[in-house]
Each structure stands twice: as structure tokens, then as C-alpha cells.
């Protein structure tokens, strides 16, 4: 790229930022008195859940300044610390929690039903349209209380996920904070779309297809160059696909750039290859056996079990899940989570939404985890503190603590007693800005 072109692009970037800033300050309709802190808000609620201890702080408040939390504690104490000019949001008798985190989304995916749905999605939608679908998915995800997501590959939409992440960051559209994997890396012929005519050699693919370590290395370097925050690999697809050597190179290149690697793996062999190669998380792990989970424990690899997407599939067509093979698969999925909990494998929340129906139902994953033996507070930690560690933002998100982003949600009821109340989030604040507040209407 020439120098002039580079200057032009950097100017354009600054201009977009300034424009977004002007739009956002204009939209707030508030002008703080001179000398008063920008965006000073006290949010007050019946109780706050401390996700680390699992206990409640009653009659609590949070003081937000700019986009960060400045104070949290008893309302009487917090109000003393906040300036008199601070605006006050009274939420009433509700429970506040940190904004939730989904570590396995596909915001660019609205795949139609049916065996040919994936191919049709690639055939009929432009990448520009895919990006706009992503914006719509991002908004419902945020309104469901998920203020941060790790988007683990964009299902053949080019680099639309990078564009969406940046558009959200620049205030052009509303959505969660995003960590994006871009294209994903799979073995040639071993990922969607399947069944495309061999004559259509240029038909787009759902991931970047590679064969051999050097192609894998090039794919990682390309994706990093185009804005990836993490790398996603497909370690298996029914059977192990990418080789150990291919994944080792992916991990080497990603870790060199300080990026983590997430591996789709459902079979014991695929999990073993990926974990020994050094990936940071196993996605799904549905058929993980004890040996695979022990290996994960010893290497500190996270498990993102993605259960609710399977539950939804079973609920949609229960007749398809009655065979002995299907029942044994569902049982192994249940056992994998139970053994992971017993061994102390780090479990992070991820709902794997890929259709118009699934986006915005992210909190069903927490209920799905409790149905496999996690306690409610363990499921909440999987979607807050543990998730923040996995995505590499432990200082910024995942808890209501001084210095972190003011990403807050509120629900009626007690989520420790009943995890399903998190499926009805009534208030969402992201970075000090109220995204949604339906609590005044009651329930
Ligand atoms: Zn997925």
C-alpha cells in the first residue's frame, strides 16, 4: 500500500471515529455541566449478585463514570461517592449481574433449515447482506443480556465479522463487544457446504480449507492480517480431519501473535490431537471420554460444551433422536460435562447459534448446563468470570468490579435459585449506555 493511500485510510478511520463520537454524544441528549464527569450514572437495584462468591449484596448501587464502573456497594455508600450531578437509574426490586458472555457465537450465520440450507445461504446472500444480518443478530444478542461474545468463525462471509466488530466499536450499530475468529480453518473437503457439484470449483466454502502445515500457516497469517482476534480450527468432522502437525503450526503462529486457538472437536481422537497441539479451548467435546478430559485438565484447556443447540435440535425433531446411537450420543454429551465438572476442567459458556431462531436465546445454554449437573452459580461463572478469562479480557468484563466496563444486566427473581430468569433480561447497560430498560413496566 502506498504512503498516500495509507494516510487516506488512517484519516478515514479517524473521521469515522469522530463521526461516531458526535453521533453518540448527540443521541444521548444530555449535556453535563462544565467540570462534571462525563456520563455519571448511579444504577440502583434491590440486589447485586457477586458472581465470584455467589452471594447477594442487598440495597446496592453501582456508580458509572464514562464507560467504566467507579464504585459498587451499598446504595447509601455509593451515593456519597457519586457527584451530585450524577443521574440516577432506579431499577427497583431486581437482581443485577454483570453482562453475560457467550464464548461460541456465529453472528454472521442465519442458515436456513434443511440439508441444503448451508449451501443456499452461500449461494443466495452477498457478503454485504450477511454483514447486515450479523448486525441484526448482534442487536438481539445484546438485548438478551450478552454484552460480550467470542464469535468462532463467520461461516463463509469473508471478513464480515471484522467489519461488524469494528462497526459496533465505532458506534455505528449496537451489539456486544466482539472477539472474532474470521474464516475458520478446516481440512479440504471436511466442512460445509457438502454436496456441491464438483464442476463448481470456485463455490464459496464455510471455512478456509487447507491441506498441509504450510497452507495452515498461511491461513493463520492471512486471518491475523485481516483482523482476527483468535483462530478457529476444525479438528474433526465425525472423525479427526486436520492433522496434529497442521494444528501445531496453527497454534505456533497464533500464539506468536498472542492469539488463542479454539478447536471444534467432538471425538476423543480429535480432542487429543487438538489439545496436544496446544489449542486453548475445545468447542463441543460432545463425545469426550475421561482420558480426553483428563488431558484437558492437565493442559488447562477450556471446554465450551454447546449443549442448548443440541437440545433445540432434539426438541424440534424428537423422533430423530430415539435410535440407540442417538441416545448414546446424548448420554455421552451429558457425561462429558459431568466428568469435566468432577475433574475441574474449566467450563465456559457458548450457545452456538446459527439460525434466525437461535440468536438471542443465548441464556438457554446456562439452563442446559445446569441440566447436566452444574449448579446455577457454576453456570453463571461459565458465562462471566471463566468466559472473561478464556476470551482474554479478565480485567474488563465478567464481573461488577471497579475499573471494569459498566456492562450490567438486571432480571426479576433470583438466578441462583432459578437459572431460567436469565432468559428474561429486563435491563441492559453496555459501557455505561442504557441499551434496554423494560423494568419499569413490571412483569
Ligand atoms: Zn459453532
377-406 pLDDT, tens digit each: 999 999 999 999 999 999 999 999 999 999
The CA-atom distances, in angstroms, between 228 and each of 162, 182, 250 are 7, 6, 13
Is residue 348 within 8 Å of 103, Cβ to Cβ? yes
Which residue(s) pair with 405 in the sheet?
A: 68
Q: Tell me: the pLDDT tens digits for 322-366?
A: 999 999 999 999 999 999 999 999 999 999 999 999 999 999 999
pTM over 0.75: yes
Cα(263) to centroid(ligand 1), Å: 10
Q: What is the distance in A from the centroid of ligand 1 to the CA of 101?
A: 15
Residue in this structure with the C-alpha cell 459496533, named with its chain if needed: 168
Tell the residue number behind the cell numbers 437482581, with chain if given. Answer: 95
Q: Is the pLDDT of residue 11 over 90?
A: no
Rounded to the nearest angstrom, the distance between the alpha carbon of 153 and the centre of ligand 1 is 8
Q: Using the mean position of ligand 1's atoms as its centre, give its distance from the Cα of residue 156 in Å.
A: 13
Q: Who contacts 135 (Cβ-Cβ below 8 Å, separation ≥6)?
A: 164, 167, 173, 175
Query: Partners of 149 in the beta sheet?
Result: 102, 178
Ligand 1 centre and the CA of 140: distance in Å?
A: 18
Q: How far is the CA of 292 from the centre of ligand 1 (A)?
A: 20
Task: Please check the confidence at residue 8 and state whether its pLDDT lies above 70.
Answer: no
pLDDT band at 32 (very low <50, low <70, confident <90, very high): low
> How much distance in Å is there from the Cα of 199 to the middle of ligand 1?
28
- Whether 40 shows a pLDDT value over 80: the answer reads yes
Task: Give residue 28's pLDDT.
Answer: 43
Which residues have their alpha-adjacent CB atom under 5 A from ion ligand 1?
352
Q: How far is the CA of 353 from the centre of ligand 1 (A)?
A: 7
The helix-helix angle for 213-225 and 244-256 (nearest 10°) equals: 30
> Any idea what DSSP says for residue 72?
E
The mean pLDDT of 116-128, rounded to a whole number, is 97
pLDDT band at 19 (very low <50, low <70, confident <90, very high): very low
Amino acid at each position: 500500500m502506498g504512503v498516500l493511500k495509507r494516510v487516506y485510510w488512517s484519516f478515514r478511520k479517524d473521521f469515522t471515529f469522530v463521526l461516531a463520537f458526535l453521533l453518540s454524544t448527540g443521541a444521548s441528549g444530555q449535556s453535563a455541566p462544565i467540570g462534571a464527569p462525563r456520563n455519571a450514572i448511579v444504577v440502583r437495584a434491590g440486589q447485586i449478585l457477586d458472581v465470584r462468591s455467589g452471594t447477594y449484596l442487598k440495597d446496592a448501587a453501582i456508580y458509572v463514570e464514562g464507560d467504566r464502573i467507579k464504585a459498587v456497594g451499598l446504595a447509601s455508600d455509593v451515593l456519597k461517592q457519586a457527584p451530585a450531578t450524577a443521574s440516577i437509574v432506579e431499577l427497583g426490586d431486581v437482581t443485577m449481574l454483570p453482562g453475560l458472555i457467550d464464548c461460541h457465537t456465529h453472528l454472521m450465520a442465519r442458515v436456513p433449515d434443511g440439508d441444503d440450507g448451508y449451501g443456499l445461504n452461500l449461494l443466495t446472500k452477498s457478503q454485504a447482506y450477511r454483514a447486515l444480518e450479523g448486525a441484526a443478530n448482534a442487536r438481539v444478542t445484546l438485548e438478551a443480556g450478552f454484552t460480550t461474545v467470542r464469535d468462532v468463525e463467520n461461516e463463509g462471509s469473508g471478513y464480515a465479522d471484522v467489519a461488524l466488530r469494528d462497526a459496533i466499536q465505532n458506534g455505528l450499530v449496537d451489539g456486544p463487544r466482539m472477539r472474532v475468529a474470521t474464516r475458520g480453518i478446516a481440512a479440504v473437503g471436511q466442512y460445509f457446504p457438502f454436496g456441491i457439484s464438483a464442476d463448481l470449483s470456485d463455490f464459496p466454502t464455510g471455512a478456509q480449507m487447507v491441506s498441509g502445515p504450510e497452507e495452515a500457516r498461511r491461513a493463520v497469517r492471512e486471518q491475523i492480517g485481516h483482523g482476527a482476534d483468535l483462530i478457529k480450527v476444525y479438528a474433526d468432522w465425525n472423525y479427526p480431519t486436520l492433522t496434529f502437525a497442521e494444528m501445531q503450526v496453527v497454534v505456533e503462529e497464533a500464539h506468536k501473535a498472542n492469539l488463542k486457538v479454539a478447536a471444534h472437536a467432538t471425538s476423543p481422537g480429535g480432542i487429543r490431537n487438538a489439545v496436544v497441539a496446544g489449542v486453548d479451548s475445545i468447542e463441543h467435546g460432545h463425545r469426550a471420554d475421561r482420558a480426553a478430559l483428563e488431558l484437558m485438565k492437565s493442559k488447562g484447556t477450556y471446554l465450551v460444551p454447546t449443549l442448548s443447540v443440541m437440545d433445540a435440535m432434539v426438541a424440534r425433531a424428537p423422533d430423530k433422536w430415539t435410535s440407540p446411537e442417538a441416545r448414546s450420543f446424548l448420554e455421552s454429551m451429558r457425561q462429558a460435562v459431568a466428568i469435566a465438572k468432577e475433574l475441574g476442567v474449566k467450563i465456559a459458556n457458548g450457545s452456538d447459534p446459527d439460525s434466525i431462531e437461535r440468536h438471542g436465546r443465548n441464556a438457554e445454554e446456562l439452563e442446559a448446563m445446569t441440566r447436566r449437573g452444574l449448579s446455577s452459580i457454576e453456570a453463571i461463572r461459565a458465562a462471566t468470570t471463566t468466559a472473561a478469562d478464556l476470551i482474554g479480557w479478565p480485567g474488563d468484563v465478567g464481573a461488577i468490579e471497579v475499573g471494569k466496563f459498566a456492562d450490567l444486566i438486571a432480571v426479576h427473581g433470583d438466578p441462583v435459585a432459578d437459572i431460567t430468569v436469565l432468559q428474561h433480561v429486563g435491563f441492559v447497560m453496555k459501557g455505561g449506555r442504557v441499551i434496554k430498560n423494560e423494568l419499569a413496566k413490571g412483569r
